[in-house]
Amino acid sequence: MAILVKNIEREFLFLTAMRERSPITMSAGNGEWTVRIASVTDGSVSFQHEVPLNLLRKGASYDFRYNVRGQTIAFKARMTEPGEKRFGVSMPEKVYKNLSRRFARLPPPGDLAVSFSFAGERFDLDFPSSEAFNPASEPEPSPQFDPSDLRDLMAEFEAKALAIANDRGIVMFKDRKPESIEENLVASTGRCFYLPTALSGIPRSDPFAERTILTREDFTAYFMESGLEPDFAEDEVSRFERAKRASGIISELMVPILFQDYAIGYATISNRHAGKPPLELGSVETFLAFARVFAWSLKLHGYFKDSPMLNESYRTQVVDVSAGGLLFACGDQRLIQALKEGTEVSVKACAKKRIVNARGTIRRHYAGKREGYFGIEFSMMAPEDFRFLFEYLYGRPFTDADSDSVEGIRVINP
């Protein structure tokens, strides 16, 4: 069964596929080809591809499909700009989702009001905001770093840093804000500034499965956002690299220290003298582990105890809902900045006959200029609440076959 998606969800689906580099199957020339979305505008979609150019005809329509969260997204689009590495199509008028999931997402019933709040403690801190999110929960146990003794933790950082570098330090943004280009990028993106060698320059790609290090593209985008044309932005990146070499830097690493949706500082190590080998990728992983443990250790030792708490409950504009989750829109810019994928939330769904309480996790996230769209996947709900929500949404009895789980939700006693 396929249903037509609304325009706002269409934009959400395309931008999510672009950000996650989702493989999309395109039918062309009696064959199928894998393409990926490169850009999305109001009227068009651009794809990166390796389809033979003779199969791409301007004005011809092509079929596309891809999978997301257990369902198939399908659409037909007209070719507008054939090209060897990229092609453009007009924005599809109709996009369908084929709900192979057990239970369909539906428009919210008229009497349903939904609100959510952040799970656990949240603080209102005077630190720079970051696109990345560290839930400030206890990190996985590490044989290298122990959060229980802050003094020992710092000593371990010193020992590991000086074993591979000449200089090291912890910079906090409590009394000063990010100043340099790399500080601003590390804080705003939550990614590491990793310069393997000053001669090789900023890496052109990120070898980690999840975006972890800043690439040359990130620096170019930074300068373009300040108003420079692409060619001038590239020149600025080259000037930045030359300045690093001129300063005597041979190899450098800056790792953000994240707490919730804030960048509270960074750990830095660098080599300025010949004799030590370049910093390897393993050092990025080591000091990322340190940064996570250090943020948790600060919380354990009361670093944030005098900061005000955020306990707001937020009303949502629900786009669609199922027994396993919901998609909502939000226009609050501060909230859009704070909500990240992986954020745990508490959800309250109020109908005329019952209030349903659930735990959930933000699984999909698109932050636009004016609105953000977020997908919450329910992770925990009381049996009686789940039974009511199921029957309320789908209008059929809840059977034993449905009782164990739906879309990953655990139905347990509170």
Q: Where residue 32 sits, what CATH number does that domain have?
A: 2.30.110.10
Residue 278 belongs to a domain: yes
User: b vs e for 112-138, b when ≥16 Cβ sit within 10 Å of the residue's Cβ?
Assistant: bebebebbeebbebebbebebbbbbee
Neighbours of 236 (CB within 10 A): 17
pLDDT tens, position by position, 287-300: 999 999 999 999 99
As a whole number, mean pLDDT of residues 264-273 equals: 94
Gap between the Cα atoms of 58 and 356, Å rounded: 52
**Distance (Å, whole) CA 236 – CA 76:** 41
Contacts of 176 (CB under 8 A, 6+ apart): none
Confidence (pLDDT) at 324:
84
Does 108 fall in a domain?
no
Q: The domain that contains 253 carries what CATH number?
A: 3.30.450.40
* Burial of residue 21 (number of CB atoms within 10 Å: 0-12, 13-18, 19+): exposed
Mean pLDDT of 9-32: 86
The pLDDT, as a whole number, for residue 341 is 79
Residues 80 and 184 in one domain: no
Q: Are 207 and 281 in contact (CB under 8 A)?
A: yes
Identify the pLDDT of residue 350.
Answer: 93
Residue 25 sits in the same domain as residue 170: no
Residue predicted with more confidence, 237 or 406: 237
User: Higher pLDDT residue, 202 or 273?
Assistant: 202
| Count of structural domains within the chain | 3
Of 300, 331, 348, which marks where a domain is finished?
Answer: 300
**Which of 254, 320, 264 has its CA nearest to residue 287?**
254
- pLDDT tens digit sequence for 293-325: 999 999 999 998 888 877 678 888 888 888 888
Q: Is the pLDDT of residue 110 over 90?
A: no
The predicted-structure confidence for 61-91, as pLDDT tens digits, reads as follows 998 988 776 677 888 999 999 999 999 999 9
- Is 221 domain-assigned? yes
Does residue 103 lie in a domain region? no
Helix (H), strand (E) at residue 333: helix 333-338
Residue 164 counted as domain residue: yes
How many Cβ atoms from other residues are within 10 Å of residue 266's Cβ?
25
Residue 153 domain flag: yes
Residue 344, pLDDT score: 86
Tell me the pLDDT of the chain averaged across its residues: 86
Query: Which two three-digit tokens encode residue 272?
Result: 């300025």
Q: With pLDDT > 90 as the criterion, what percentage of the chain qualifies? A: 47
Shared domain for 287 and 374, answered yes or no, is no
Please tell me the predicted confidence (pLDDT) of residue 47.
96
pLDDT category at 100 given cuts 50, 70, 90 is very low
One domain for residues 291 and 348: no
> How far is the C-alpha of 81 from the C-alpha of 39, rounded, in Å?
13
Q: Examine the domain organization and report whether 149 and 38 are in the same domain.
A: no
295 and 147 together in one domain: yes
**Judgement on whether residues 156 and 81 belong to the same structural domain of the protein:** no
Distance of alpha carbon 125 from its chain centroid, rounded? 21
List pLDDT tens digits, range 118-143: 877 777 788 988 888 776 667 776 77
Residue 396: CATH number of its domain = 2.40.10.220
**Per-residue pLDDT, 104:** 56
Q: With cut-offs at 50, 70 and 90, classify the pLDDT of residue 2.
A: low
Residues 293 and 369 in one domain: no
Per-residue pLDDT at 101 exceeds 70: no
Note whether 173 and 280 are same-domain residues: yes
Q: Give per-residue pLDDT as tens, 34-59.
A: 999 999 998 999 999 999 999 999 99
Q: Quick check: is 104 in a domain?
A: no
Q: What is the sign, positive or negative, of the torsion defined by CA atoms of 217, 219, 223, 228? A: negative
The verdict on 286 and 314 lying in the same domain is no
- Segments forming the whole domain that contains residue 260: 129-300
C-alpha dihedral (175, 176, 182, 184), degrees to nearest 10 = 100
Virtual CA dihedral for 276, 281, 282, 287, nearest 10 degrees? 90
pLDDT for 102 beyond 80? no
Phi and psi (nearest 5°) for 292? -65, -45
The per-residue pLDDT for range 393-412, each reduced to its tens digit, is: 877 777 665 554 444 455 55
Residue 107 lies in a domain: no
Q: Are residues 269 and 407 in the same domain?
A: no
Residues 170 and 235 occupy one common structural domain: yes
